[in-house]
Chains A and B, each alone.
Chain A
Amino acid sequence: MSLIESNEYRRILLAVVLVAAATLFAFLVFFLQSRDVQRAEEVPPAAAADPEVLEAADEEDQVELTLYFYVPGTSSPGRLAPLKRNLARLEDPHLMARQIVGEVLRGPDQGLNVFSEQARLRQIYLLSEGTAVVDLSQDTARGLPGGAACEYGALRSLTRSLTDNLEAVDRVKFLVGGQDAPTFAGHVSIRLPFSN
């Protein structure tokens, strides 16, 4: 009997085939699992609070401010509702402005928020002559419900909340996605600053 026909050879061959199959199986399992793990890690974290504000804030030292939120009306065009909210007392007006805008974008504690969850402040600049330049993300404009009244109400709520609470701010100029845009979300002109 030749070597090829021997039982030992068959056993070796079987072992080789089994090892190959096991390797392939392990490879497939590992590959698919690693893809799932990769997917899970890609989930973006929940929108974090403004890190600059968090760093400067002292939980003990708070101030009660009146912020304004847009409330759509039954027979339009809606109104601004003043609501009191406790915010961290920050000496830097720039950080205070960031905090106020963040709170307005977050919306009222109860009821509907005209801004979507994707709304985000990109940057805010305080100019010496009393203009706050508020640069909002494209998603802020895109996430609005779509009507002209809501668009106007959203901008007015930010303007009012800033000008009423900050001495350094008399008017608010809006940018979208870092750009000077003719309109905020397709209707309301933001060519010139808003003021009270």
Chain B
Amino acid sequence: MHRGVKEAGTRRRHRWWPALLVLLWAAVPLQAFQDIEIEIGSQVSVLDSARRQGRSYYSMTDVARTFDVRLNDSGRMLTVRGPRGTARLRDGSSIVGRDRGPDVQLREPVWKRGEDDWYVSGDFLERVLRSLLDGRLTRLSPTRYRLTGLQDVEVEVRLRNYPPNRVRIVFEPDRQVPIRIDDQERVLVIDFEQYRPLMRLPRERPDVDIVASLTFDRLGRGAVRLVKGRRFERYEYLELEGPPRHVLDLYSSTPGRSSRGHAEIVLDPGHGGRDYGVVEGLAGLRRGSASQEDSESQDGEGNPAVPQPIDPGQISEKDFTLNLAQRLAAKLNRAGFSTVLTRGRDVDLNLEQRSAISNGFGPKIFLSLHLGSSRGTAPRGPIVYLHRPQSSQGLTAEALDVAEPQAGQADSKADPDSERPPPREAQQPPTAGFLPQLKPWSQAQEAHLSQSRRLASIVQGSLNDLFGSDNRVMEIPLSLLEPVDTPSLLVETGYISSSDDLRRLKDPLFQERLAEALARALERYLR
């Protein structure tokens, strides 16, 4: 009897445990290697999984290769940059920061397995990656996704001025598609959300008091950027069908007279938003520029610049220039001058928009603030840049010295020292002969060059005194200043790559003295 009971118990145990082993054997690889398949066109890519603490993780290297996003490993942080935005992952944290939109919490903390070897949980694809991509990522099953490109939509843009206080802009897409209007401080951004617009902009010029400029920004999916004129007050939006139209009516405040007046000085804090400018400790690794990014989406092989996270205490050009512009504006305002900043916060602004804002306000001075950077630590101190019209540009001693050539230079077409630019009159701009009654924007700065030179000399002198430097004004063709219709300068207030300059630039007291020196120079020019 006793034996019979024991036999029965043994038999039961023997029945289930081999089955359990087999089940476990089958389940382990299933759990551990739950790979994700991505359909891209007719191809299927696989994101291999790795296992950690019973959870599936996916290699960011695989993600970057499959989705063509860029990674930048800076120790404890990994920056993921896609065509539509940037995300920052921190080792051991499940919170992912994004430059556009709120932070996202992943199911599992991010895992840095080794140098340039990062892993994330599967929900990264839907919660974060989707917002960074140009195309559309659709989840077909928990382990299968499909990436499809954006559809093109042709958009005809019509513009009509209704004096004295209204401009109407009508977007006519070739089919009914939604648009989104982002009302920013000085800019309206109109984009077509799920579509990539092929835009035909109007030839008509808007009333510049209401719409300072209307441009198509090709960055990412592409969007129309409308810079508000100095009398812009509000806009109204109306959607119509048959044929589909999006109507934007833009109004000025009061007809005739300006309510915002004009500013005497427009200050332009360089860079901003996704464009960091130069960053401390990263001289030689630029972070892309808004203007540069304009063309990036057109470049099939071009990858967007990768902004990296800034550690506290590390200065970036975009933050420094904004801070300096605000200090300078406060000093100028106290001295009785009216000022306007092209950007009052950390936003993207391309070069055309900056010059359009300046031209909209009709100031007496346009001053763009920047930081310098170079290979090596030798270059230091401030440099004031003037625009040199391209029709007269050339390699001159004034712009860039040529060192003595070495003896016996063979096969050289000419002696470098004998090279001088041709006289300005000798090279007419390509527009010469056409539309003689109109001044192209590209020549707007030319009329102010002598005043710009006087201003440059004063500012360079004032900054040299502050830095104890002996730097000279430099004249080079500058995209930013070319269309500015007032005396204007681009100033690099020291080199971030110079340890001496950097130490000073990081000191709030020195920043205050720098703003003071600039304010004194501008006052001296205006009085």
Contact = CB atoms under 8 A, between A and B. Distances in A.
A43 to B, nearest CB: 11
Nearest to B277: A146
A54 interface: no
Given A4-B10, A79-B403, 10 more contacts: A24-B28, A31-B33, A64-B410, A76-B474, A137-B302, A146-B277, A146-B373, A149-B383, A165-B411, A182-B291
Given A39-B61, A177-B299, A182-B351, A149 B374 contact: yes
B374 A183 contact: no
Interface string B298-333: 111111010000000000010000000000000000
Interface string A39-64: 10010000000000000000000011
B22 A20 contact: yes
A122 B492 CA distance: 31
Contact of B305 (A64, A68, A142, A188): A142
A189 B390 contact: yes
B25 A20 contact: yes
Query: Which has the most chain B C-beta neighbours within 10 Å: A27, A63, A196?
Result: A196
B470 interface: yes
B243 interface: no
A113 to B, nearest CB: 7
Interface string B6-23: 010011001000100110
B403 A82 contact: yes
16 contacts: A2-B11, A24-B29, A72-B378, A76-B381, A82-B402, A143-B284, A147-B374, A148-B385, A152-B400, A181-B291, A187-B490, A189-B478, A192-B477, A195-B393, A196-B394, A196-B419
Given A145-B497, A163-B413, A165-B412, A138 B395 contact: no
B416 interface: yes
B379 A72 contact: yes
A176 B291 CA distance: 12
Interface of A: 2, 4-5, 13, 16-17, 20, 24, 27, 31, 35, 39, 42, 63-66, 68, 70-84, 112-114, 116, 137-139, 141-150, 152-153, 156, 159-160, 163-167, 176-179, 181-183, 185-189, 191-192, 194-196
A148 B290 CA distance: 15
B194 interface: no
A167 B413 contact: yes
Contacts of A27: 29
A154 to B, nearest CB: 10
Given A65-B410, A75-B471, A5 B10 contact: yes
Nearest to A147: B372
A194 B380 contact: no
4 closest residue pairs by CB, A with B: A186-B289, A177-B299, A146-B373, A146-B278
B391 A192 contact: yes
Contact of A77 (B275, B300, B400, B403): B400
A79 B395 contact: no
Contact of A178 (B278, B299, B421): B299
B25 to A, nearest CB: 5
B383 A179 contact: no
A138 to B, nearest CB: 4
Contacts of A149: 372, 374, 379, 383, 474, 476, 492
B203 interface: no
B482 interface: yes
A171 B421 CA distance: 12
Contact of A146 (B283, B303, B430): B283
A102 to B, nearest CB: 17
A166 to B, nearest CB: 8
Interface of B: 7, 10-11, 14, 18, 21-22, 25, 28-29, 33, 48, 61, 65, 271, 275, 277-278, 283-292, 294-296, 298-303, 305, 317, 351-352, 370-376, 378-381, 383, 385, 390-391, 393-395, 399-403, 405-406, 408-414, 416, 419, 421, 429-430, 442, 469-472, 474, 476-480, 482, 490, 492, 495-497
A81 B293 CA distance: 31
B209 to A, nearest CB: 25
A65 B374 contact: no
Contacts of B292: 138, 141-142, 176, 181, 183, 185-186
Contact of B286 (A4, A112, A145): A145
A13 B16 CA distance: 12
A164 B416 contact: yes
Nearest to A177: B299
B281 to A, nearest CB: 12
Given A145-B374, A146-B373, A189-B478, A164 B295 contact: no
Nearest to B14: A4
Query: Which has the most chain B C-beta neighbours within 10 Å: A65, A137, A144?
Result: A144
A116 B284 contact: yes
A131 to B, nearest CB: 12
B505 to A, nearest CB: 14
A83 B402 CA distance: 11
Contacts of A31: 33
B381 A80 contact: no
Contact of A142 (B283, B288, B394): B288
Contacts of A78: 374, 379, 400-401
A83 B289 CA distance: 32
Contacts of B28: 24
A191 B470 contact: no
Query: Which has the most chain A C-beta neighbours within 10 Å: B18, B283, B390?
Result: B390
